[in-house]
């Protein structure tokens, strides 16, 4: 059986509501994306969806207790184990509840229809107005089931004049084969400030498709930092929609891949109102036979004047077999804007390597130091000091370089 067979069988036996049946029908009519779709031109799901998966979690969560080793050390936590919300902190001004359905579909892609029709797991977080939460909220999705196809559907709403920071992880408890198709929506009210950090460092057989949609009202600021170290296959869809003036959208990406890992970062910023800003910086480091894709698009609507938008994708290829496909895009219909985009793909600078070698630094250490320095600009945009330090330590370990932080 293939994944599509698994999904049809699950839908037939799950007593879906009429609405879910219609959404699943939309998915079936569209099918999984293929390389014939422009947005998936460099990313094939063919091998992944040819496998058979289960949509039912095992009973391991009844006995699993070893949560602590997966936490990053923050006080506020939301923990899911095999699809079930098993723990959430009591945070003043924050309401956390189990899954709730919402209809908003980002761009009517088939994977959104699939998530909306069959997902039964996820959370809803509501932050009251005029609340400043200093301690980050750590969100952990743990899986103990082999060959699981999982889907989380999450909604976060930030009240007016409030600020909060999140750290999200998806983790297998061992080297399990898994595929996730997750969907998260963030609603930013007027003058709110949210930072959402995605730490993607899973096991060698994990596959993740993650969609994050952000809807911003006037004077709101939203920053999304995506850190990618582990996992066999990762596709990130990050979409911003600015629905008020003076909104600011920030995107930072740090990718370090080895072996045959694959990552595809897709971003879209929709400037629908005047006097708004967006900043986008993605840094990628590719070793061995790893492959990367970057597709970033900035759209400025007709009456959205005084837009300031920046986009850059910089990649290092440290092996001849590593590769990256990069496609930065601007689509501008206003005439009073300041927009720029750029892409660089290259290797380490030979003169810088020679300089470090002449100072007694070994070749491997010199490469590690220069590579670490290359990624530092994006890492510095992580505002949580403890998380920033953890990312730096993880990167230095993967690069086999000893750096005092």
Domain containing residue 108: 3-398
The domain total for the chain is: 1
Residue with tokens 């899973």: 202
Q: What pLDDT digit, counting tens, does each position of 93-105 carry?
A: 999 998 777 666 5
Residue 405 lies in a domain: no
pLDDT in tens, 226-235: 999 999 999 9
Buried b (16+ CB within 10 A) or exposed e, 147-179: ebbbbbbbbbbbbbbbbbbbbbbbbbbeebbbb
Q: Which phi and psi (to 5°) does residue 162 adopt?
A: -110, 155
Q: Are 250 and 264 in contact (CB under 8 A)?
A: no
Token pair 């993607």 is found at 200
Residue at 108 is within a domain: yes
Taking only the tens place, the pLDDT of each residue in 48-95 is 999 999 999 987 666 788 888 899 999 999 999 999 999 999 999 999
Query: In sequence order, which residues have a C-beta less than 8 Å from that of residue 175 and are 6 or more positions away?
Result: 203, 204, 205
Count, in order, helices (H) and strands (E) of the chain. Answer: 7, 20
86 part of a folded domain: yes
pLDDT of 68 reads 83
Question: Which helix H or strand E contains 385, and what residues bound it?
Answer: helix 385-398
Of 133, 278, 265, 116, residue with least CA distance to 200: 265
> pLDDT band at 400, cuts 50/70/90?
confident
What is the model's pTM? 0.96
């Amino acid at each position: 059986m293939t994944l599509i067979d698994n999904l049809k069988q699950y839908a037939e036996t799950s007593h879906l509501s009429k609405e879910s049946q219609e959404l699943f029908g939309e998915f079936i009519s569209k099918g999984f994306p293929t390389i014939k779709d422009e947005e998936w031109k460099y990313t094939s799901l063919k091998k992944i969806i040819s496998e058979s998966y289960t949509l039912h979690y095992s009973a391991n969560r009844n006995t699993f207790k070893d949560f602590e080793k997966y936490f990053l050390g923050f006080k506020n936590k939301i923990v899911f184990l095999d699809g079930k919300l098993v723990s959430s902190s009591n945070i003043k001004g924050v309401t956390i509840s189990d899954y709730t359905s919402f209809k908003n579909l980002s761009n009517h892609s088939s994977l959104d229809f699939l998530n909306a029709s069959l997902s039964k797991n996820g959370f809803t977080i509501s932050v009251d107005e005029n609340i400043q939460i200093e301690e980050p909220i750590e969100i952990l999705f743990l899986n103990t089931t082999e060959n699981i196809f999982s889907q989380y559907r999450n909604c976060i709403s930030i009240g007016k004049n409030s600020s909060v920071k999140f750290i999200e992880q998806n983790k297998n408890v061992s080297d399990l084969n898994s595929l996730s198709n997750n969907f998260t929506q963030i609603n930013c009210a007027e003058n709110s400030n949210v930072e959402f950090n995605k730490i993607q460092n899973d096991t060698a057989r994990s596959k993740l498709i993650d969609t994050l949609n952000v809807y911003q009202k006037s004077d709101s600021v939203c920053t999304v930092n995506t850190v990618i170290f582990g996992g066999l296959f990762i596709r990130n869809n990050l979409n911003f929609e600015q629905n008020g003036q003076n909104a600011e959208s920030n995107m930072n990406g740090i990718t370090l891949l080895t072996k045959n890992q694959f990552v595809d970062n897709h971003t879209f910023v929709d400037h629908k109102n005047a006097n708004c800003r967006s900043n986008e910086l993605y840094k990628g480091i590719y070793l061995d036979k790893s492959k990367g894709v970057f597709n970033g698009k900035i759209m400025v609507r007709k009456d959205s004047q005084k837009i300031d938008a920046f986009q850059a994708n910089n990649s290092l290829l440290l092996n001849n077999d590593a590769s990256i496909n990069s496609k930065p895009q601007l689509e501008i219909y206003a005439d009073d804007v300041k927009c720029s985009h750029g892409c660089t793909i290259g290797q380490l600078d030979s003169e810088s390597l020679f300089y470090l070698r002449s100072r007694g630094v070994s070749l491997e250490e010199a490469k590690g130091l220069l590579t670490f320095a290359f990624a530092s600009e994006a890492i510095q945009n992580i505002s949580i000091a403890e998380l920033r330090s953890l990312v730096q330590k993880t990167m230095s370990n993967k690069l086999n370089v000893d750096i005092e932080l």
